Every structure is written in C-alpha cells, then in structure tokens.
Amino acid sequence: MSNQGKLRLGVNIDHVATVRNARGGAYPDPLRAARIAEAAGADGITAHLREDRRHISDADIEGLMDVLTVPLNFEMAATEEMQKIALRHKPHAVCIVPEKREERTTEGGLEVAREENRLAHFIAPLREAGCRVSIFIAAEQRQIEAAHRIGAEVIELHTGAYCDAHAEEDFEKRDAELKSLENMSSFAHSLGLEVHAGHGLTYETVQPVAAFPEVMELNIGHFLIGESIFLGLEQAIKEMRRLMDEARS
C-alpha cells in the first residue's frame, strides 16, 4: 500500500500538569507547553481529563479550547460526566479510553467488544456534535470489528505492550507485538477506519510504528515531557518529528 501522506504528531501535555500539580501552583503551565508544541510542529494537542483530575484540570481544557490553533484531541473515559464536558466544548476529536483510578497510566485498551451497546449509545451524541470519535484499543481483531460496528471513525492502537517489551529487552515479544500492530493497522484500514497509535513511544520505539503506512497519527506524551527536561520541549518534539518523518520516507 502506498504511503498515505504525512504522519501527524499529537503531543500529549498531561504530564506538564502532573509536575504543576505536584506543588499545587500555576506552573509549569500546560497551555504554554501546548503553544510551544504547536510552534515546534505538533499537528494536534492531546489532553486526558481523568476522573480524579490528577493532571489536566477542567480549567486546562477550557484554556486549550481558547488558545489552540491546532486540533484538540480530548481523551476521556466513557462516563456521563465526561460526555457532558465534551459536548460543552466540542473538541475536534474525542478519544475514549478505559480508566481505572488505581492505575498509574492507561494500562490497556478499551473492551469495546464487551460493551458494544453501551458504547454505541455513548458515542452517538459526540458524533452528532461533530467530534471525531476515536477508540483506544489493543491490537485485536475483535476489538477493531466492535469499534467499527459501534460507528467509531478512528481507532487508536495501544502501543504500550510493544514499548514495554522493548524496555524489558524481550525482543521476541516486542517483535510479536509489532507484528500485531502492523497486521491490525492494515485490518482496521481495510474496514475504512482511520488508524492512530500511541502510548509509551520513545525515540527508540517510534520508527517501526511510524513506518506503517496506514497509521495516520501518533499521540506521544510522557517521554517527550521527560526529554524536555534535558533538551527543552521544542527540541524534544522536533527530534520526534524528525524520526517520524525519516521512518515514513
């Protein structure tokens, strides 16, 4: 299959808010980070308003809606509260993610296949409001089929298992996870779904995923915010962009 155009980079700014909230003050400001990310070549900004508000706050989302010149990808759990917030702001995209209070980060994909009816009803008003609805799932055929059946336009494949295997130097598992991501990207694309990917990606792990022609967008946060301590946010993002473009060319 031919290359499908420029791969978009969504920069997730959640962990700027994590650092801010560690002291409860006003800095570092996630909105300032979003503006730098835009200037550094981010094609979108991603923010996850968690139910416990551990990083991004309601005021951050309001501020982002006011200042951004690139699309906001609003990550949220499938709850009534989050649906109301999304319908109030009508961000460009909403990405439905599973959420457990006790987890440190979004550990797995959404179980769409088990909750098909509820999720179909949940996303319908979001789609009617003009939001592009994306579903964050593991690279499994049955989840992709279910996401397609409920009317999602986009799926985001969870790259966490691939990145974890790489970090643990379990290269057999890493390569198997990568193969699943590759196969499931083309399967989802064949159903007409737009394919995104993300979670845990770093300079070391981004290129093989960026090379899949069906993948249209990567959402990357934690590593970039960490790396910005050493390089500055602008340079950290530019290097990620460079690696993505190199892999794609």
Instruction: Report the catalytic residues.
Output: 48, 75, 199
Instruction: Return the number of the residue (136 or 187) whose C-beta is nearest ligand PXP.
Output: 136
Q: Using CA atoms, how far apart are residues 124 and 141, in angstroms rounded to an integer? A: 22
Beta-carbon count within 10 A of 172 CB: 8
At its nearest, how many Å lie between ligand PXP and the CB of residue 153? 15
Q: How near is the Cβ of 2 to ligand PXP at its closest, in Å? A: 26
Q: Which is nearer to ligand PXP, 1 or 11 (CB)?
A: 11
If the CB atoms of residues 1 and 160 are measured against ligand PXP, the closer one turns out to be: 160
Interface residue list for ligand PXP (CB under 6 A): 12, 14, 48, 75, 95, 97, 106, 136, 156, 198-201, 219-223
End-to-end Cα spacing for the chain: 14
Nearest Cα neighbor of 244 from 198, 206, 202 is 206
Q: How far is the CB of 239 from ligand PXP (least distance, A)?
A: 15
Residues counted in the chain: 249
Q: Which spans in the chain are helix H?
A: 14-23, 30-39, 58-67, 80-89, 116-128, 141-149, 160-167, 171-190, 206-210, 222-231, 233-248
Phi, psi values for residue 29, rounded to 5°: -90, 120
CB-nearer residue toward ligand PXP: 2 or 157: 157
- Contacts (Cβ under 8 Å, ≥6 apart) of 47: 12, 13, 14, 30, 56, 60, 61, 64, 72, 73, 74, 75
Q: Residue 31's closest CA among 18, 16, 42?
A: 16
Smallest separation, CB 8 to ligand PXP (Å): 13
What is the smallest separation between the CB atom of 201 and ligand PXP, expressed in angstroms?
Answer: 6
Task: Pick the closer one to ligand PXP by CB: 31 or 135.
Answer: 135
